[in-house]
Amino acid sequence: MIKSLLKMNLTTLKEEKMKTRKQHLTRTARFVAGMLSFALTLMLLTPAATMAQDQPIVNLGAAGDFALLAGSLVSNVPNSAVTGNIGLSPAAGSNITGFGGAEIVGIFYTVDATGPAGSVPSATMLLAAKGDITIAFNDAAGRMPVPVGEYLNPGAGNIGGMTLSSGLYKFTSTLSISGSDLTLTGSDTDVWIFQIASDLNVANGIHVTLAGGALPANIFWQVGTSATLGTTCVFQGTIIADQSIALNTGATLNGRALASSGAVTIEGSTVTKPGLTAAIDDEIVPGTYNLSQNFPNPFNPSTTISYQLPFSSQVTLTVTDMLGRELAVLVNDVQNAGNHEIDWDASNNSSGTYIYRLQAGSFVSVKQMVLVK
């Protein structure tokens, strides 16, 4: 009897031990499986997040020379201050309205002779610039890899109060910046690209601030429909909108407003195109790309074109007539950072207006000069 009981107890102990061992193995297997799943998730997500933080700037082409460029209307409620060129195409120059003579440091470019006093008709150049808006829009909208995680719809579509490092961000609907200011932090070579499916709305009084050396020239907002900057807000970067862009009373834009099909409207606003700086001493490396107005202008028969490079760059400097026909290639080489100048001898050309175009890396700037014989 005792032997039988001992045998039963021993069997029970063995069964309990086997059961405990199986449970332990099951928990271990589940833990290992969980860790493998977590590791696989990291492997899938980490490359996308890392790559999303490393984007080249958006090449604006000829559109980069404008502070304001629109398709149907450019209107102003005085008094505004615009540093950079203003262009309108395909609408007539008469649709540039409300500007006083002291409100722009730059040139009005129009498709005809109906623009504001002093405007320059240049339909061919504007056609190229508008085409470059489309190219830039599609470039920004198509950037890869497709953002995921913290780069996809951060803040559920409202990034007010956030601090964002550089990278490619995607918003599948409207993007709002409200409630609190937005901070973009990074170095002077970091790039931000915001892909916005519909509208961009910035609330009244909101500031987009830059930290760590971040530059407005490296910030791009690709807007699927239209953008509105609220009263007295301060905004950074280039807005590339499919339709219209509105700056309400007292808004400041350190960047560009480029509207493909619709209007750009400003009201007592300040707009400064990135890259326009005061003259820099020849012994100092420039902080930005810049193409200066030729001197003398008008000229006969030669003139000097000056430009500045903040980095060593592949540089192309060409001269064309008003029909876009290339007449001379003045520079086509890699040049060091610094201040450069070159002469153009137009002895074999007739009197008229000519266009000179500088491309250095992704920077493009276009200006006009007048030969008078």
Question: Residue 165's pLDDT band (boundaries 50, 70, 90)?
Answer: very high
0.85 surpassed by pTM: no
Output the pLDDT for position 124: 85
Find out whether 147 and 168 touch, Cβ atoms under 8 Å.
yes
Helices (H), the chain: 2-52, 123-141
Tokens 């003259």 belong to 279
> Across the chain, what does the average pLDDT equal?
85
What are the structural domains, with CATH classification, of the chain?
A: 61-272 (no CATH), 290-371 (2.60.40.3080)
Pairing of strands 245-247, 227-229: parallel
Q: What is the pLDDT of residues 18-48, one digit of tens each?
A: 554 555 445 544 544 554 454 444 444 444 3
Q: What is the DSSP string of 174-220?
A: -EEE-SS-EEEE--TT--EEEEESS-EEE-TT-BEEEETT--GGGEE
